[in-house]
Structure 1
Amino acid sequence: MEIVVFGAGSIGSLLGGLLACVPDHDVTLVGREAHVDAVRQEGLRITGREAFTVRPDATTDGTGLAADLALVTVKAFDTESAARELRTGDFRAVCSLQNGMGNEDVLAGALDCPVLGGTTSYGAVREAPGEVTWNGAGDLVVGPWEPRDCDGVAGEVAEAFRAAEIDAERVDADGIRKRLWEKLAVNAAINPTTALARAENGALAAPPAADLVAPIAREVAATAQAVGVDLGEAETIEAVEAVVDATAENESSMCHDVRRGRRTEIDVINGYVVERAREAGIDVPTNRTLWTLIRAWEAGRGHGESSDDGDGDGDGDDDGDSDGA
């Protein structure tokens, strides 16, 4: 399969590197100049759980590309830019593996091909140009977003990941929406709290931070239910607690962004919950408070509505987030 990874940050580089190990896959990374130059000259070096070097194609220009699949792994605030560049190319399908919600709708509104939603619990940190540390393996789930009946292509994408020994599952349109809302609950609980506390994810396993997990998760579950997604409170709380336990020593992407003074993805995480809850007439005070605090921090540093990290080549998550996506 011909695969373009649009956003060669941490998770994009890791998945692109693993896919490039398959002889039948032809992988191209789209990323920033320093990273692309290093990959072209020395290859992409994977360290951590396994150590190897692969040599995928790499480019800084995301326009005019053609492939069976484009994996979008840029930061959420770069999705519109990514969509504009992808629109100049030719793809059989595009799959978002990004944080937050709303990315799939942006891509579907701009592109004339099936759009898939995806989530993964793989974790990575891009340590230096041309190098990414693989610090966590888990699973990957893909499913149809638009149109809702493109199960066949979603199955082919899952099989392409499985060929790279990535534990991938194909779910239906309802299934991927539920998985993404569950992931949203995980990120809504972990990312802003650890960013504000400057703490590792494990801080949410014990009081006082642990006291925030249930209220955040309940609010996300209630909002999901209001928009027609069957997500229960108990299972949502359990999902958050499981990720906190599994990633206790990790630093979330938002915490990493705040430490570096960079714009966060708060608007597509807690901000998305707040907006959908407002539309449904639901009160989500804990999510609203976290969203407001992070937005206040961003405003104090001059982070506006557009990305201050460049254009559509975006770094993806060049830091490794709470659940690896």
Structure 2
Amino acid sequence: MRIGIVGGGAVGLLTAAYMSQSAHVTIYTRRHEQAEKLCANGLTVICGDEKTTHRVQATPFVCETNDDVLFMAVKQYDLTNILTTHVHMLQANAIIFLQNGMGHIRYVSRLPHEHIALAVVEHGALKVDDTTVVHTGVGQTKWSVWRGEQHAFSFLLRTSSRFPFQYVDDWETMLLEKLMVNVLINPLTALLRVPNGMLVAHDPYRQAMEQLFHEVASILHIEQRERIWQHVQTICRQTAANRSSMLRDIESGRRTEIDAILAYVIERANEQHIPAPISTFLYSLVKGKELEGGKGR
């Protein structure tokens, strides 16, 4: 089987490494330099005290792909550009989206692919350099079929125990629950400059997170709120030492995914004429931090 991974970030590299154990994997990168290094040195994964190097192919994403399955592992803002101007390059029988947020859903129905799946990644991953990724937390990847047949993705049942996939019937609930996790953890940790665990370790931070939770849950009409609230707090504790992707983006002066996360919530609120003062406040602060780092849009 030929598997393509579009994106050479932490999630893309981690996915590529585990997929390469049972398939021929090609990573489509933004930069020529990264592709050359991956071809020459392989892809190294560090998990605890164990370090393994995997042989993969890599090439810049400048021409049509030629794979059985494509994993889309780029940031939401890069995905929007691909799906609006370069969709003809995504040549594959099946495609799986690994994005945070829900902004990409509006484009999925326009795709010509016969089999489309949506997924959320619950692993911890940290990119060290162009060819090295640390598997900081072993979790699972939940996935659901958007269009086509489940059997088109049957290879997901044969992945490593360190990189399991769990099928979910309801893709919308799956994405909404992941969105809630991202909405509550990412902006607050980025602005407070604290690891995930601090959001539940300090009462004032937990109270602020709870206020945001109630606002967003009302906007998105979230059911089973107590279960999801407890789930978010559990993730904070389980990943207590982790620094969220948005915090790392702010620290590195990179563009964040705030538009895919909080802007989506604010848009939904405006559609329903529901006030969203906390979400709007946090969104503005994160955008300000982006401007400080030179990555405001």
TM over 0.5: yes
Unpaired segments ≥5 residues, structure 2? none
Q: Deviations over 1:95-144 (max 9, x none)?
A: 11011111233344354444321101111111012111111111111112
Q: Within 5 A, what are the aligned runs for 1:179-218?
A: 179-205=174-200, 206-218=202-214
By how many angstroms is 1:36 displaced? 1.5
Residues 15 and 299 of structure 1, relative CA distance in 2, 3 Å threshold: same
Amino acid at match of 2:39: R
Residue in structure 2 matching 1:221, options 217, 222, 225: 217
Name the counterpart of 2:277.
285
Name the counterpart of 1:75.
75
Amino acid at match of 2:74: V
Please tell me whether the aligned partners of residues 104 and 117 of structure 1 are also in contact (alpha carbons under 8 angstroms): no
State how far apart, in whole Å, the 1-side matches of 2:207 and 2:269 are.
22
Residues 16 and 108 of structure 1, relative CA distance in 2, 3 Å threshold: farther
Residue in structure 1 matching 2:253, options 251, 254, 261: 261
Name the counterpart of 1:37.
36
Unpaired segments ≥5 residues, structure 1? 306-325
Do residues 117 (structure 1) and 109 (structure 2) align? no
Amino acid at match of 2:40: Q
> What SS is found at the alignment partner of 2:61?
coil
Residues 244 and 170 of structure 1, relative CA distance in 2, 3 Å threshold: same
What's the % identity of the aligned pairs? 29
> What SS is found at the alignment partner of 1:208?
helix
Q: Within 5 A, what are the aligned runs for 1:88-167?
A: 88-145=89-146, 147=147, 150=148, 152-153=149-150, 155-157=151-153, 159-165=154-160, 166-167=163-164
By how many angstroms is 1:232 displaced? 2.6
> What SS is found at the alignment partner of 2:197?
helix
By how many angstroms is 1:293 displaced? 1.0
> What SS is found at the alignment partner of 1:288?
helix
State how far apart, in whole Å, the 1-side matches of 2:206 and 2:6 are.
36
TM-score, reference length from structure 1: 0.84
State how far apart, in whole Å, the 2-side matches of 1:186 and 1:160 are.
28
Q: Deviations over 1:251-275 (max 9, x none)?
A: 0011001111111110110111111
Count residues with an aligned counterpart: 291
Name the counterpart of 1:170.
167
Amino acid at match of 1:276: R
TM-score, reference length from structure 2: 0.91
Q: RMSD of the TM alignment (CA)?
A: 1.8
Please tell me whether the aligned partners of residues 76 and 100 of structure 1 are also in contact (alpha carbons under 8 angstroms): yes
